[in-house]
């Protein structure tokens, strides 16, 4: 009779431990989601607005280069080239940040898997040594 009561208490402890693990997982998932959003997740409204203004600016520069002659034409073309080059440098920089974050995430996952593997191996050794 005592054994059954111990099993019920032990089962309740396991359930509460599992609920705590789920809550920890949800908090960690939300934290990672916020970090990914800061680094380069979905583009924000400001990014969309900047891209629209950027395309309009490039279009105006190219239209000005077609309608004008002489140095004004060269200035318009060079402004468009500088703007596009700056945008490419910015995109490369953002991609490097995302790549670094992905490497960090993968490294931490690998580290955690190694810890779990060591725990499983130690549990396996204990189970093999204990008599059935």
- CA–CA dist 51, 108 (Å, integer): 34
Which residue spans within the chain are E strands per DSSP? none
DSSP 82-93: HHHHHHHHHHHH
Per the CB < 8 A criterion, the answer to whether 83 and 57 are in contact is yes
pTM over 0.85? The answer is no
Cα–Cα distances in Å, from 36 out to 28, 43, 48, 72?
A: 12, 11, 18, 43
Burial 51-75 (b: 16+ CB within 10 A, else e): eeeeeeebeebeebbeeeeeeeeee
* pLDDT tens track for 31-56: 877 776 666 556 677 888 989 999 99
* pLDDT tens track for 56-86: 999 999 999 999 999 999 999 999 999 999 9
């Amino acid at each position: 009779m005592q054994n059954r009561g111990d099993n019920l208490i032990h089962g309740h402890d396991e359930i509460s431990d599992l609920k705590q693990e789920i809550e920890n997982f949800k908090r960690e998932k939300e934290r990672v989601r916020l970090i990914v959003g800061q680094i380069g997740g979905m583009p924000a409204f400001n990014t969309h607005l900047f891209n629209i203004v950027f395309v309009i600016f490039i279009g105006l520069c190219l239209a000005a280069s077609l309608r004008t002659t002489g140095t004004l034409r060269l200035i318009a073309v060079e402004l468009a080239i500088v703007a596009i080059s700056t945008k490419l440098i910015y995109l490369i920089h953002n991609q490097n940040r995302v790549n670094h974050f992905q490497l960090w995430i993968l490294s931490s996952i690998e580290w955690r898997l190694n810890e779990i593997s060591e725990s499983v191996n130690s549990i396996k050794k204990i189970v093999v040594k204990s008599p059935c």
